Amino acid sequence: KGIQVDASSMYMEKIWAEITSSNNKKFRIDYEPRYKPKIEFADLNHDNVLDLLESSGTGGSGGLYNYRLTTLKDNKAIDIPMPPALNVQGHFEDQFKASLTIPEISFTKKFKLSNRKKDYIRLGLFQKNGTLNEPTELMIDPVDVYRIIKVKGEKGFGLKSYRRVSGAYHADALGTLISVWYYENGKWNQIQTKWKDR
Mean pLDDT of the chain: 93
Beta bridge partners of 27: 19
Nearest partner of 178 among 112, 119, 103, 102, judged by Cα: 102
Could you tell me if 179 and 160 are in contact, meaning their C-beta atoms sit under 8 angstroms apart?
A: yes
Please give the pLDDT value at position 152: 92
- Rounded to an integer, the average pLDDT of 70-83 is 90
Contact 159, 145 (CB under 8 A): no
Q: What DSSP character marks residue 106?
A: T
The per-residue pLDDT for range 54-71, each reduced to its tens digit, is 999 887 666 678 999 999
pLDDT band at 24 (very low <50, low <70, confident <90, very high): confident
**Domain locations in the chain?**
2-80, 89-197
Q: Give the number of other CB atoms < 10 A from CB of residue 144.
A: 14
Q: Give the torsion sign (CA, 111, 114, 119, 125).
A: positive
For residue 21, the model assigns a pLDDT of 80
The pLDDT assigned to 160 comes to 97
Whole-number Å distance between alpha carbons of 144 and 176: 10
> The pTM is what?
0.89
Q: What is the pLDDT of residue 79?
A: 95
